[in-house]
């Protein structure tokens, strides 16, 4: 699943620089996450960095974008231009 920032966001600016994919940007009223770029930090970190730094816990799973860990990893590979390790 991609992540979603709720309207409880206080626009504190701490999440945007933490996103390794550049998926977070300032929206009209609060920060937003582009689901096409969000991998929940799969491939980059063990936990979602935006969730880790959010002081108000307003970042949740996006119920409209359901993805498995494998799909998130494939998206990470596509976004970074990397290839899956050969096993």
The model's confidence at residue 83, banded by pLDDT at 50, 70 and 90, is confident
In-domain check, residue 69: yes
Give tens-digit pLDDT for 10-19.
999 999 999 9
Q: Where are the alpha helices (DSSP H) in 1-87?
A: 49-53, 69-80
- Res 86 pLDDT > 90: no
In-domain check, residue 68: yes
In-domain check, residue 85: no
Task: Output the six-digit token pair for 78.
Answer: 């596509």
More confidently predicted of 83 and 29 = 29
CA dihedral 60, 62, 66, 68 (to 10 degrees): -30
CATH (domain of 7): 3.30.70.20
- Count structural domains, the chain: 1
- Give the structural domain span for 66: 3-80
Can you tell me the mean pLDDT for 28-39? Answer: 97
In-domain check, residue 87: no
């Amino acid at each position: 699943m991609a992540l979603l920032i709720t309207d409880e966001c206080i626009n504190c600016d701490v999440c945007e620089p933490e996103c390794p994919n550049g998926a977070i940007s300032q929206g009209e009223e609060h920060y937003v996450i582009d689901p096409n770029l969000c991998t929940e930090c799969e491939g980059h970190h063990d936990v979602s960095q935006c969730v880790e730094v959010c002081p108000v816990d307003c970042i949740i799973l996006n119920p409209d974008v359901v993805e498995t860990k494998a799909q998130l990893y494939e998206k990470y590979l596509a976004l970074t231009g990397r290839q899956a390790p050969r096993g």
